[in-house]
Structures are given as structure tokens and as C-alpha cells.
Amino acid sequence: MSKLSLSCRSHLDEELAKKENQTTDEDDFDDMNDPFLKEYMIKRMQEMMEQIDSDGKERPVFGKLLLLGSGAEFLEAIDKEKKFVTIICHIYTHNIQECVDMNGCLDCLAKQYSNVKFCAIEASIAGMSKHFSKSGVPALLVYKAGQLLANFVRLGDEFSDRFFAADIEKFLVE
């Protein structure tokens, strides 16, 4: 294309421009060997891949309420999950009716929102005090990228004696 186009440059100017381009290309090549830039490019590629994943191509599917049996499982469920996954964890006591209802609601919501990770852990297993186990449950903790976004305690006070998945969904959306 450049051979067919008209140019105002002299042959000498063209030769100088070619040398500058070659020098620039060599400088770019030298930059590619810089360890800092290599590390930056690797991190940037990982970020872009995570963004692609978060755009729905490889989203994890859960589809059920996961019952966690230890504090280590609780930490792993939060810390080892992909950054873009929202995690809703229910802290419950098994003999409190509101907690039983909340587990049922979250199981329904887990089927409806299969890309959200719904977990439940018993308060005593999570290391909560006896006082919290009696009066602080049901409690919901919302995490994303390993960070606590929201926590809701004593949700039995928020709802009537019997509540349904639609009530919990509405509450979480607000």
C-alpha cells in the first residue's frame, strides 16, 4: 500500500523513518524481556480471563444448599471460591424453627439462583457463643471475593413466624 501512495518524504526521510521503526521495535522487544513487565502482563491476562469467566462463560453452578460440617469447610467455601461468585451463608441452630424454615427457603433459592453459592453452618460448629446460638440466629452472611459484604442477624425478628423463599429473596434484593 505504501508503494502506491503518494508521499512528501524524500528517500532519505524514508530510510530514517525505517531505522526509527526498527529501533522502536527493538526497544519493544527489550521491554518484553523485562521481568516486571512480564509479571504485569501475566497478572493482567489472569484478570482478563477472570472477567471473561465472570461474563457467564464458565460460571460455577451450585443449585443446592451446601451444609458445611466444620470451620475449615466454612473458610474454604469462602476463601477458595472464584472472585465473582456471591456466597450467602446461613448460620443456624438446628432446633430453632426459624432456622429450619430459613434452610428450606435457601434450598429453594439455590435452585433458582444456581450461580450463587448458598451454604449453611451450625452456629456451634462455626464457633459462635451459646448466647448467639440462641438469640442471634438465623443469621445470613453475604460474601464476594473473600470479603464480607453484609451480615444480617436475628432474622426471625425481621419476618413473621412463617416465611417463604419469596420473602427471603425480596429481603436480599433490597
- The answer to whether residues 27 and 75 belong to one domain is no
Per-residue pLDDT of 48-74, as tens digits, reads 666 655 555 567 889 999 999 999 999
Q: Which domain holds residue 101?
A: 65-173
- The answer to whether residues 102 and 157 belong to one domain is yes
Number of domains in the chain: 2
Q: What CATH number did the domain enclosing 89 receive?
A: 3.40.30.10
Last residue of a domain, one of 57, 75, 92: 57
Per-residue pLDDT of 10-52, as tens digits, reads 777 777 777 777 665 555 555 567 788 778 877 777 776 666 5
29 in any annotated domain:
yes
Per-residue pLDDT of 98-130, as tens digits, reads 999 999 999 999 999 998 999 999 999 999 999
4 in any annotated domain:
no
1 in any annotated domain:
no
6 in any annotated domain:
no
- The answer to whether residues 71 and 52 belong to one domain is no
Q: List the grid coordinates of 6.
A: 503518494
90-123 burial, b if ≥16 CB within 10 A, otherwise e?
bbbbeebebbebbbebbebbbeebeebbbbbbbb
